[in-house]
Amino acid sequence: MSPNGFMRSALTVAGAALLLTILTPAPAHAQIGKLKDRAKAAATDQAAKKAAEAAMGGAEAPEVVPMADEADDGVTAGAEDPSAAAAMAPGEGAWANYDFVPGEMPLFIDDFSKDRVGNFPQRLEFLDGNMEIVEWQGRRFLRATTNPARFAIALDAPLPDKYTLEFEILPLVDGWFQQVYFSDPGQYPNSALCSVYSAGLTGDGAGTGRSLVQLDGGLDGKVYPCRIMVDGNYAKVYQGEQRVANVPNASLGHGTQVIFRLTGTVEQPVMVGNIRLMGGGRDLYDALEAEGRVATQGILFDSGSERIRPESTPTLTEIGDMLEQHADLRLSIEGHTDGDGDDAANQTLSERRAAAVTAYLVESHSIDAGRLEAVGFGESKPVADNTTPEGKQQNRRVELVKL
């Protein structure tokens, strides 16, 4: 089916579905053309370049923003220059207005690192199409080469009132939908969806003219993180560090599965990776008042380092504002890791990271250093099983403890 035919079909079936357009409009051939010099420069040896091209089904390899590992808990992408955006401190540049905060409870996390290359991921539910895991630069992606190619994240219970979804995506096919549904099929026939669409739309299926978002060519041809934050009927969508949709009546739904509908070809595959679905999200001060401590998943660090990533801006701002508004509040900033790696190294790293958060609050929010303590516990205080991705994610945290 042609892109236009598919668009008409999708809109007819979806009824009043809201389409959130979050991909740049550059044609695929233009995207690939721009990638050639970047890919060749990035490939330090011929073997790495061939592996990258194989993962893309023969196309030139895209630029991929480096992912974080063990305790980084996040991904980043810039606007015109991803490396420049990643090098920024929290609150700098576009990150100053970035307000995505991940949920606090891991519901589903998978980077396909436990799966075999060439297979379909064990923890996802296959629906239809042709998909397989590929490896590029030591990282795994699910590559889709058909229209459609669908898979689902199956949940034990309906999505909570508040949840967040993060994933990386490379949608190189010009004029095709890449969709995510948050409602069970048939349960919410008019439920909204997040649509990655390179040609752009101007209204929803009911013709109500809801605002749709389309960026310029700053991220065309790159693997970049898509983030979706839902609070009741309210939904926000982010492309890299930019918020591209802010819809108070999105009504995405609360189903027992999250369905991805990808549309790719052998020549121009779509790749998805590093899926992270999180539930919940509480006001930090309310949680501190009620329980005396609160864990956050929103403070992120570079791999093996105490450097705070710019995606941490919203959480750090909330902590800083809370301390400014409650002059009598004193906090212990606690760093925790999962069980991977050397015990002593994890202990030292957690101490450095707790100290870095404390220093940031003192320097950026003018908080009296006497109101803060920095403590690292390494992997010594797990709150979940370290044998699952969700458990490790829960153990990698910064906790605030009321003194």
Contact criterion met (CB below 8 Å) for 106 and 281: no
Q: Tens digits of per-residue pLDDT, 137-150?
A: 778 999 999 988 99
Secondary structure element (H or E) that encloses residue 343, with its range = helix 343-365
Mean pLDDT for 216-241 is 77
Q: Where are the domains of the chain?
A: 3-67+111-279, 284-402
Reported as a pLDDT band with limits 50, 70 and 90, residue 49 is: very low
Higher pLDDT, 79 or 90: 90
Give the span between the Cα atoms of 271 and 273, in whole angstroms.
7
Q: Which of 225, 154, 199, 143 is nearest to 4 (CA)?
A: 199
Reported as a pLDDT band with limits 50, 70 and 90, residue 129 is: very high
Question: pLDDT over 90 for what percent of the chain?
Answer: 38
> Same fold for the domain at 3-67+111-279 and the one at 284-402?
no
Q: Tens digits of per-residue pLDDT, 233-268?
A: 888 888 888 887 788 877 777 889 998 888 889 988
Q: Which of 367, 337, 369, 363 is nearest to 350 (CA)?
A: 337
Reported as a pLDDT band with limits 50, 70 and 90, residue 282 is: confident
DSSP states of 304-326 as a string? TS-PBPGGGHHHHHHHHHHHHH-
> What is the CATH code of the structural domain delimited by 284-402?
3.30.1330.60
Q: Tens digits of per-residue pLDDT, 341-355?
A: 899 999 999 999 999
* CA trace torsion 377, 379, 385, 387 (10° rounding): 160
> What is the CATH code of the structural domain delimited by 3-67+111-279?
2.60.120.560
Give the span between the Cα atoms of 44 and 6, in whole angstroms.
40
**Tokens for 375?**
């403590």
Please state, as a whole number, how many other Cβ atoms lie within 10 Å of the Cβ of residue 213: 19
Answer whether 0.95 is exceeded by the pTM.
no
Q: Give how far the C-alpha of residue 182 lies from the chain's centroid of Cα atoms, to the nearest Å.
A: 16
pLDDT for residue 10 is more than 80: no
pLDDT of residue 85: 64
Higher pLDDT, 97 or 35: 97
